[in-house]
Structure 1
Amino acid sequence: MRKEPIFDVAQLAHVEIFSPKPDETLWFFKDLLGMEISHQEGQSVYLRAYEDFYHHTLKITEGKEAGLGHVAWRTSSQQALDRRVSAIQGTGLEKGWVENEIGHGDAYQFTTPDGHPMELLWEVEYFEAPSELKTPLLNRPQKKPQRGVPVRRLDHVNLMTSETKPNVDFMMDKLGFNLREHIQLKDGTDVAAWMSVSPLVHEIAMMGDPLGGKGRMHHLCYWYGYPQHLMDICELFTENGITIEAGPGKHGVSQAYFLYVLEPGGNRVELFGDAGYLIFDPDWKPITWKEEDLEKGIIWYGSQLPEEFFRYGTPIIGDKKPSTIG
């Protein structure tokens, strides 16, 4: 019998990344991807896409190397937050409460079994558009920016793991995530998984790290809505010295049009040209991709992904950097 589903985690709220080149990273997201600055304080800048309703969905913090700061999830209520905190306590992965955070209320911090920093929160600050950004479209938080090719909203994050199953089990058992698709080797080992708490195919993906690293980030992703915008941003990247790693193309897993690029600080960013498909079935059976299926599972339209795509993550392991980083 299927376990009673947990609906306590509602959505991906924001992601923090570290950058050794914070000014250039900010330029990438603000001027090329058209994101808005919500706040600047200390070594951090807070940004949001023009259809993100919260104070921010991205936090860029200056650091010695590129990598993941943390992933934040919003719960469906204060009571839901309390329940998930109770579920995490005693696992050895809890870190405790933090207060006085910018853009949201108290947050409970923890890690995945692999060490990825995460937090849960309920209270959020909603973006209030200044007069020059107000729009007559009342269901949109602000005007569409007139710079770059502006992304519309935060979509998902992809994390690399030394071992996939313990991390996937943790997200499902303690936080209530649903397994939507996964890649399984001939020996039955899962090497990648796509999970969500909403009808999206995934708000988080986890994939095995062939270099054996722990706690690394593969990419974060923002959503455009229209595949044409992938072509448009490619022109801006080409004219502004940003090397495209892969795409535009289309994945079999998730059925989404994609583009991968490394921002100047070294973190990989994916841009979605559509939402793939949505899942409304409450009794969804996870899609299993076998080794023999991978040619179409990884990509079914466009050129093949480069080998470094599966090995490169942040923080970087070793001295070698892909040619896409200046």
Structure 2
Amino acid sequence: MENYVYAPEIAKLGHVALVSEDIEKSLWFFKEILGLEETAVEDGIHYLRCWGDFEHHSLSIRSGKTSYIDHIGWRAKRVEDLEQFALLLEEKGTKVKWIESGEEKGQGRAIRFQLPTGHKFEIYYEMDKPKGDENNKPFLKNQSHKAWAKGISTRRIDHVNIATNAEVETVSNFIIDNLGFKLREYLVDSEDQQLGAWMSVTNLVHDIAVMKDPNAPTTHQMHHLGFWLDNAQDILRAADILSEHQVEFVGPGKHGISQAIYLYVIDPGSGLRIELFSNSYLIFEPDWEPVKWTLEDKKALTYWGENSSQANRTTIRG
């Protein structure tokens, strides 16, 4: 530890890089139905963001023979944190790859590495923050572009939920010990082994969750990507829009863990599950004690509404 000037920190979830086997269907879904703005297209990669996201992109999509998550990007609190994270990870035996500025559109230098399960993470600091163009310029100066311009109009990227057929604690401990996340809530089986862990670096209940799926085809699956809507009424509006376009979904309902109102829908191009997410609660206590749930707590995953376990199969490779 003598090489560290200070403990590096992650500020927030930044983006998810998606590879889709049917990019036209994915672009239709994310742009026309969810209402994401396309900020750039370069080398076959489409860069998108929600109306409340300030950075260049919160989602990128490119075409591939199969669908999978190329990487999940996290923004560091300081540019110096990149070197510190690289030192920390390499000292603990994790291989780190440097990504040069501009290799990912709008983004500065970054590091990429794999979790013990094979999930790929990226940490960056510098990222362009473009304004909306003349056709999408907001009146409010504290927005990047117009709200409610199209479709469901999700406000921002909210969280990721990864899945594995390996031990959940292998992943959650790595994320906590190496990346500085705090455990907020967790679910255990009858032998006190983690079935799920919800962790954050912000005041959110979770910026990332890890779920156990013994039937998953690999150790590195993506359970879902979450986008934020402001309130429960927005979730009901989203259900109307999805129904109007004959897109099937699960929900609405309310989770016990996180207390969030949810709706799950599948991107028809890639098979990636999307959670539309609202309400929930915030954590400000510095001495927060992780909340433990067991299988006897029947309302842990679904407090009320359509059973969220119907959406509990993993989708694409993470």
TM-score interval, normalised by the smaller of the two chains:
over 0.9
Report what 2:63 is aligned to.
62
Amino acid of the residue matched to residue 139 of structure 1?
N
Report what 2:3 is aligned to.
none
Q: Report how far residue 94 of structure 1 moved.
A: 2.0
> How far apart in 2 are the matches of 1:278 and 1:49?
21
Give the one of 194, 198, 215 matched to 1:190: 194
Report 1:195-274 matches (<5 A). 195-212=199-216, 213-244=218-249, 246-265=250-269, 266-274=271-279
Checking the alignment, whether the CA contact within 8 Å between 1:72 and 1:120 is kept in structure 2 is yes
SS of aligned partner of 1:89: helix
Report what 2:108 is aligned to.
105
Report what 1:140 is aligned to.
143
Give the one of 279, 282, 297 matched to 2:283: 279
Checking the alignment, whether the CA contact within 8 Å between 2:161 and 2:224 is kept in structure 1 is yes
Evaluate the alpha carbon distance shift between residue 51 and residue 166 of structure 1 in structure 2; reply closer, same or farther with a 3 A threshold.
same
Give the one of 120, 139, 144 matched to 1:117: 120
Query: Is residue 150 of structure 1 aligned with residue 153 of structure 2?
Result: yes
Specify every segment of 5 or more residues in structure 2 that has no aligned partner in the other structure, as ranges: 1-5
Query: Is residue 11 of structure 1 aligned with residue 12 of structure 2?
Result: yes
Q: Report how far residue 24 of structure 1 moved.
A: 0.7
Amino acid of the residue matched to residue 257 of structure 1?
I
Query: Is residue 298 of structure 1 aligned with residue 288 of structure 2?
Result: no
> How far apart in 2 are the matches of 1:281 and 1:52?
26
Amino acid of the residue matched to residue 253 of structure 1?
I
> How far apart in 1 are the matches of 2:308 and 2:58?
28
Checking the alignment, whether the CA contact within 8 Å between 1:14 and 1:73 is kept in structure 2 is yes
Report what 2:75 is aligned to.
74
**Per-residue CA distance 1:128-170 (angstroms, 9 max, x = gap):** 2222222221111111142212000000000002221111111
Give the one of 160, 168, 182 matched to 2:163: 160
> How far apart in 2 are the matches of 1:258 and 1:315?
23
Q: Report how far residue 7 of structure 1 moved.
A: 6.0
TM-score, length of structure 2 as denominator length: 0.93
Amino acid of the residue matched to residue 254 of structure 1?
S
Amino acid of the residue matched to residue 16 of structure 2?
V
Amino acid of the residue matched to residue 104 of structure 1?
Q
Evaluate the alpha carbon distance shift between residue 57 and residue 189 of structure 1 in structure 2; reply closer, same or farther with a 3 A threshold.
same
Report what 1:36 is aligned to.
37
SS of aligned partner of 2:62: strand
**Per-residue CA distance 1:157-197 (angstroms, 9 max, x = gap):** 00002221111111111110000000011211011000000
**Per-residue CA distance 1:234-253 (angstroms, 9 max, x = gap):** 12212223111x21000000
> How far apart in 2 are the matches of 1:133 and 1:26?
19
Q: Report how far residue 6 of structure 1 moved.
A: 5.2
Checking the alignment, whether the CA contact within 8 Å between 2:82 and 2:110 is kept in structure 1 is no
Report what 2:50 is aligned to.
49
> How far apart in 1 are the matches of 2:93 and 2:273?
30
Q: Report how far residue 95 of structure 1 moved.
A: 3.5
Q: Identical aligned pairs, as a percentage?
A: 38
> How far apart in 2 are the matches of 1:165 and 1:80?
25
Amino acid of the residue matched to residue 301 of structure 1?
W
Checking the alignment, whether the CA contact within 8 Å between 1:210 and 1:311 is kept in structure 2 is no
> How far apart in 1 are the matches of 2:138 and 2:45?
28
Amino acid of the residue matched to residue 137 of structure 2?
K
> How far apart in 1 are the matches of 2:212 and 2:133?
44
Aligned residues: 308
Query: Is residue 88 of structure 1 aligned with residue 89 of structure 2?
Result: yes
SS of aligned partner of 1:233: helix
**Per-residue CA distance 1:110-129 (angstroms, 9 max, x = gap):** 01110011111111111222
CA RMSD between the two structures: 1.6
> How far apart in 2 are the matches of 1:187 and 1:194?
19
Amino acid of the residue matched to residue 254 of structure 2?
K
> How far apart in 1 are the matches of 2:34 and 2:136?
17
Specify every segment of 5 or more residues in structure 1 that has no aligned partner in the other structure, as ranges: 317-326
Give the one of 131, 134, 144 matched to 1:131: 134
Amino acid of the residue matched to residue 71 of structure 1?
I
Query: Is residue 314 of structure 1 aligned with residue 316 of structure 2?
Result: yes
